[in-house]
Amino acid sequence: MPDFDEQWEKVMEEKYFNKKKGQFDFTQKRVEEFKKLTGVKDNEFVGKVCLDAGCGPGIWTYAMQKLGAKKVDSFDISAEAIKRCRKINPDAYVSDILDLKSNPVYDFVLCLGVLHHNRNTREGFSKIASQVKTGGMLHVMVYDKKHDHEYDGYRGNTCVEKHKEWEKLSFEEKIKMCEKKVETIGGDIHGWFDAFNPEFNWSFSSEEVEQWFEEEGFDKMKLRVKSHFNSIPTSQVNMNGIKS
């Protein structure tokens, strides 16, 4: 079962959210967050074809639709995620980034919080880069190395070893562990579950990510979101670039 099925199936009830209640609702707030996150302006997607790779429940698919996209293709390896995304997008399907064949037809490709959950993040980057047409934009988010220390070994180079401990826990024990984190550090149960549950939680520096863009033939890279806002944490490298 893909790592995220459990999260999208069992950890989406109101009681698992605290500060970030409504984080997965399809509302105008998502559109505003998306604009700030990517730098995309109102109407910029009119007539454009977009791809949401690793869409999860589809909050950013929704934002792209609202910003005028002619079509948004959304896919995720988790069938539970796709069940949710289908509520707003008929063009949502179960698929794996690593199975993508080169198909440079998209004006905009989003891959937010996805690639670091794969054994080989760099290979995944190459696959999604191959979907962007010349002049199109790719926006990715991966975890920022600088914040590894906040995740008790579950993020960065030690993640695979640490995940073995998590796997031994029952669902109830996992929730308890997240509750403890909420009590001692803050945030909400969903957020901690999201941090602990995946087997792979690699992290990177913005320099590394910028180099990937260069290697795949992109330029005009921009590092986005340097201060906290709404539901977008800043412990991430958020970067976009234009395919040349």
Ligand X SMILES: C[S@@+](CC[C@H](N)C(=O)[O-])C[C@H]1O[C@@H](n2cnc3c(N)ncnc32)[C@H](O)[C@@H]1O
Q: Which is nearer to ligand X, 125 or 213 (CB)?
A: 125
Q: Which is nearer to ligand X, 76 or 107 (CB)?
A: 76
Which chain residues interact with ligand X by CB under 6 A? 2, 4, 54-56, 59-60, 76-78, 81, 96-98, 112-114, 117-118, 194
Q: Which is nearer to ligand X, 13 or 99 (CB)?
A: 99
Rounded to whole angstroms, what are the CA distances from 38 to 63, 68, 126, 162, 224?
A: 11, 15, 20, 32, 7
CB of 201: closest distance to ligand X in angstroms?
10
Closest by CA position to 120, among listed 94, 84, 96, 88? 96
- Using left for φ > 0, alpha for ψ between -120 and 50, and beta otherwise, residue 208 falls in alpha
CB of 141: closest distance to ligand X in angstroms?
7
Q: Which is nearer to ligand X, 77 or 132 (CB)?
A: 77
CB of 130: closest distance to ligand X in angstroms?
14
CB burial string 51-89: b at 16+ within 10 A, e below: bbbbbbbbbbbbbbbbbebeebbbbbbbebbbebbeebb
Distance CA 203, CA 137 (A): 22
When CB distances to ligand X are compared, the closest residue is 56
Q: Which is nearer to ligand X, 74 or 145 (CB)?
A: 74
CB of 6: closest distance to ligand X in angstroms?
10
Q: Chain-centre distance of CA 139, in angstroms?
A: 10
CB of 4: closest distance to ligand X in angstroms?
3
Integer-rounded Cα radius of gyration of the chain: 17
Q: Which is nearer to ligand X, 28 or 219 (CB)?
A: 28
CB of 213: closest distance to ligand X in angstroms?
19
